[in-house]
């Protein structure tokens, strides 16, 4: 089956996305003012949200990334979480903020959270652009949420289907039918 943009129906347009990201950035900046903060992006899907969010945070912080995978070539999580690239700096005794594109089953984030808590940060919080609580299989605390969405497979704004559609400036629902 060929993948086509004609199968994508807009869910969150570019301007509401950007407005909410600016709000999140301002809230995070207030919460972390004067603290030693490391902002951790979970690749690959987070890259657009991460870039816009960190530019909207008016404070000093360090940036690092982890690359994790739980999806194969389809629209369902495999349930298996793989760490493909680990942090390049210590978070021990520092405040850590994990930036995620979407919280779906919670499996990926739960594993990442446990791994990071074992490294003894001063605090660990999570910000996610999208939250899909109806799909949750493992509860995981999400401290900052951009948007709560229904159970749709979404693409765009960094989110993909088999590596495609990440470059869309909006979030859309992918309908394979």
Residue-wise pLDDT tens digits, 99-157: 999 999 999 899 999 999 999 999 999 999 999 999 999 999 999 999 999 999 999 99
Q: Is 170 exposed, middle or buried (0-12, 13-18, 19+ CB in 10 A)?
A: middle
| pLDDT value of residue 23 | 98
pTM confidence score: 0.92
Number of other CB atoms surrounding residue 62 within 10 Å: 12
* Residue with token string 């990334």: 65
Q: Which residue has the higher pLDDT, 176 or 39?
A: 39
Q: Judge whether residue 71 has pLDDT over 80.
A: no
Residue of 52, 101, 104, 160 with catalytic role: 104
Kindly state the tokens that stand for 20.
């909410």
| pLDDT value of residue 79 | 62
- Name the CA dihedral angle for 37, 38, 42, 48, rounded to a multiple of 10 degrees: 70
Q: Judge whether residue 10 has pLDDT over 60.
A: yes
| pLDDT value of residue 14 | 97
Active site residue 104: yes
The count of domains in the chain is 1
Residues paired with 127 in a beta bridge: 99, 144
Q: Judge whether residue 46 has pLDDT over 80.
A: yes
Question: Residue 58: which domain range?
Answer: 5-70+77-174
One DSSP character per residue, 94-137 reads SEEEEEEEEESSSHHHHHHHHHHHTT--SEEEEEEEEE-GGG-S
CATH code (residue 53): 3.40.50.2020
Say which residues have a Cβ less than 8 Å from residue 10's Cβ, sequence separation at least 6: 170, 171, 172, 173
């Amino acid at each position: 089956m060929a993948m086509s943009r004609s199968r994508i129906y807009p869910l969150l347009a570019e301007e509401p996305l950007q407005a909410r990201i600016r709000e999140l950035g301002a809230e995070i900046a207030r919460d972390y003012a004067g603290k030693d903060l490391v902002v951790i992006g979970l690749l690959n899907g987070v890259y657009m949200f991460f870039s816009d969010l960190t530019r909207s945070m008016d404070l000093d912080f360090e940036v690092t990334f982890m690359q994790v995978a739980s999806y194969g070539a389809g629209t369902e999580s495999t349930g298996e979480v793989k760490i493909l690239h680990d942090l390049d700096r210590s978070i021990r005794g520092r405040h850590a903020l994990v930036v995620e594109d979407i919280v779906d089953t919670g499996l990926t984030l739960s594993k990442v959270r446990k791994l990071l808590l074992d490294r003894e940060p001063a605090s660990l919080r999570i910000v996610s652009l999208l939250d899909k609580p109806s799909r949750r299989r493992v509860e995981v605390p999400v401290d900052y949420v951009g948007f709560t969405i229904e159970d749709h497979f979404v693409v765009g704004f960094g989110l993909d289907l088999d590596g495609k559609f990440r470059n869309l400036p909006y979030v859309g629902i992918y309908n394979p039918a």
